[in-house]
Amino acid sequence: MRPVQSWKWLTLVLVALATVAPGGLPIRPAAAQGGGTLVVGLDQEPPTLDPHASPSAVTYQVIASVAENLLYRGSDGKLVPWLAESWTVARDGRSVTFKLRRDVKFHDGTPFNADAVKFNFDRIVDPKFKAGGSRAALGSYAASKVLDEFTVQVLFETPYAPFLNSVASGVLSIVSPKAVRESGDAVHTRPVGTGPFMMKDYVAKDHATMVRFPGYARKAPWSDRTGPALLETVVWKFIPEPGTRVTTLESGETQGIYLVPAQSLPRLEKDASVRVEKLPWPGVPRIWLLNTTKPPFDDVRVRRAVNFAVDKDAFLATVYRGTGLKAFAPLTAVMLDDPALRQAYPFDPEKAKALLGEAGWAPGGDGIRAKAGQRLEIVLNAIEYGGGADPTAPLIQSSLRDVGVDVKIKAQARPPWSEDNYRCATHGPVMFLRSIDPDGLWSLFHSSQVGANFNWSCVKNAKLDGLLADGRREADPAKRRAIYLAVEKLALDEALTVPLVDELAVWAFRAPVQGVKYNFNAYPVLSDATIRR
């Protein structure tokens, strides 16, 4: 073939084609919109914004300033009035009476009153309604009685002390009965509440927008200011890819993001134009539930040895890098903290080795201990997320190898993982649980929950059952604390679990964004937030 003279025009075409798209477009990402609009990137899209239908935390991250609750629980953990002015718990613990505010209207103009509260709670227990986390939060709910227009009594079949904490949690927030009855499918994208913001529009897989509710004339419980929200608009963008999410914050396309990936955290923390905020999650930390029925974990000495052998500092340094704190007990420290819990299992490989020796597991030839010709092998059930198994699994594996335990990681997808847990088939999984009341431990440790809920330690212990039942009945906060401290001490003494990491909810905002506050659930409330120009 001869050289081609006309390649020049072809080159022109090529260059034109290659550059016409990316170049020359006069679009810049929404740059710092001081005053009006805050754009926040979230790691996932809520399955629904209906607070009663959602099983997912992301719903409540979005609507924490849209729908309000009878009570409010701030990051200090104290219960204060919100839509209810006061509340009284009956002496038998089987009912709570709320005196409601009289000056509250829903965003659709309908009045908030005792009928609305009754409608909301009855809706959740309606067998025709597919409730999310809200159903469990109502426990043994029997009915609501409207005593007068602004007084409602909530009744329970059996005393249910966790209710006061639940009623302050997003799952039991109050929405407009009229909107629920009349809005059809929109109930999933436009919940109508009473809060300082109201939902405006929702574009699936893209964003949800909420705007200031001009009629908000009260003082929100987290604020020292009366009146509507300061920001005009908040846009929640759904950006599942962590790298992209961080980039949008750095470029100014968003002014805030949730779930900062551990590998980007050091960079953002050094960046003066960004502020990182870390909140402790209430609930159960990332924890290894030890299957107490499967040998050798039927021997408490082996379970204790494992607790002494796991090097949690290594987890924090290698995987978590500032997005978690060392866990000591089956409840995170923000739920219940006590020196006795912190001292239970320091990292002590020598003690672990001694305990294993005591249990009859002698050092073997290949570095793995053995007893009666059997190697000391443990099967750790781990979720395979696609990019690899739960990152704590290989760390547990290497820690335990140092004391002569061979950990096999059974990495699998979530459905078979759950199935194995229910059947108590492995030596237990690593899991976590978000819960705002210590009663969350019921699902972990009550004997009725083996094969039914999260009792994947497969433990049946009458003393534990008794304490957990007491905790459900006891209304006095100090006494409740003592009960759950006893539960935790017992769980540690029996070594039912290996608490690993108290994970933190990590948010990052551009420096001009000020005044973001958080409730006890670690969800942001935004009525006092501003963007400085």
Partner 1 sequence: MLTYVGRRILAVVPVLFGVTLAVFSMLFLVPGDPVKIMLAEFVTTPEQIAQMRAQLHLDEPVLKQYGRFVTNALRGDLGVSIRSRRPVAAEITENIGSTGQLALASMLVAIGLGVPLGLLAALGRNSWLDVVAMVVALLGVAMPSFWLGFLLIFVFSLHLGWLPATGGGDLPHLVMPAVALGMIAAAIIARLTRSSMLEVLGQDYVRTARAKGLGRASVIVRHALRNALIPVVTVFGLQFGNLLAGAVIVETVFSRPGLGRLIVGGILAKDFPLVQGTVLFVAAAYVLINVVVDVAYAYVDPRIRIG
Residues that bind partner 1 (CB under 8 A): 1, 3-7, 9-11, 13-14, 17-18, 21-22, 25, 27-30, 41, 45, 47-48, 53, 55-56, 127, 130-133, 135-136, 185, 188, 203-207, 237-241, 243-244, 247-248, 250-253, 414-416, 418-419
Distance from C-alpha of 291 to C-alpha of 297, rounded to nearest angstrom? 6
* 350 or 419: CB nearest partner 1: 419
Q: Angle at CA 441, nearest 5°, toward 348 and 51?
A: 130
* 35 or 243: CB nearest partner 1: 243
* 10 or 511: CB nearest partner 1: 10
135 is written with which tokens? 């159903």
Spatial contact of 20 and 12, defined as CB atoms under 8 Å apart: no
3-state secondary structure of 395: helix
Question: Measured from the CB of residue 519, what is the shortest distance to partner 1 in angstroms?
Answer: 22
Question: Measured from the CB of residue 479, what is the shortest distance to partner 1 in angstroms?
Answer: 27
Which residues lie below 8 Å from residue 330, measured CB to CB, with a gap of 6+? Answer: 284, 285, 287, 441, 444, 445, 487, 488, 491, 492, 496, 497, 499
- Residue 470, judged by CB atoms within 10 A of its CB (0-12, 13-18, 19+), counts as middle
* 1 or 372: CB nearest partner 1: 1
Spatial contact of 276 and 507, defined as CB atoms under 8 Å apart: yes
* 20 or 511: CB nearest partner 1: 20
Question: Measured from the CB of residue 133, what is the shortest distance to partner 1 in angstroms?
Answer: 7
* 333 or 458: CB nearest partner 1: 458
Question: Measured from the CB of residue 31, what is the shortest distance to partner 1 in angstroms?
Answer: 8
Question: Measured from the CB of residue 454, what is the shortest distance to partner 1 in angstroms?
Answer: 11
Question: Measured from the CB of residue 361, what is the shortest distance to partner 1 in angstroms?
Answer: 33
107 is written with which tokens? 């965003």
Question: Measured from the CB of residue 475, what is the shortest distance to partner 1 in angstroms?
Answer: 24
* 51 or 404: CB nearest partner 1: 51
104 is written with which tokens? 């509250």
Q: Using DSSP bridges, classify how beta strands 374-375 and 370-371 pair: parallel, antiparallel or unpaired.
A: antiparallel
Question: Measured from the CB of residue 124, what is the shortest distance to partner 1 in angstroms?
Answer: 10
* 204 or 462: CB nearest partner 1: 204
CA-based R_g, the chain, Å: 26
Spatial contact of 242 and 262, defined as CB atoms under 8 Å apart: no
Instruction: Spell out the long-range contacts of 210-218 with Cβ–Cβ below 8 A and sequence spacing 24 or more.
Output: 210/62, 210/65, 210/66, 210/234, 210/236, 213/107, 215/105, 215/107, 216/527, 217/103, 218/101, 218/103, 218/104
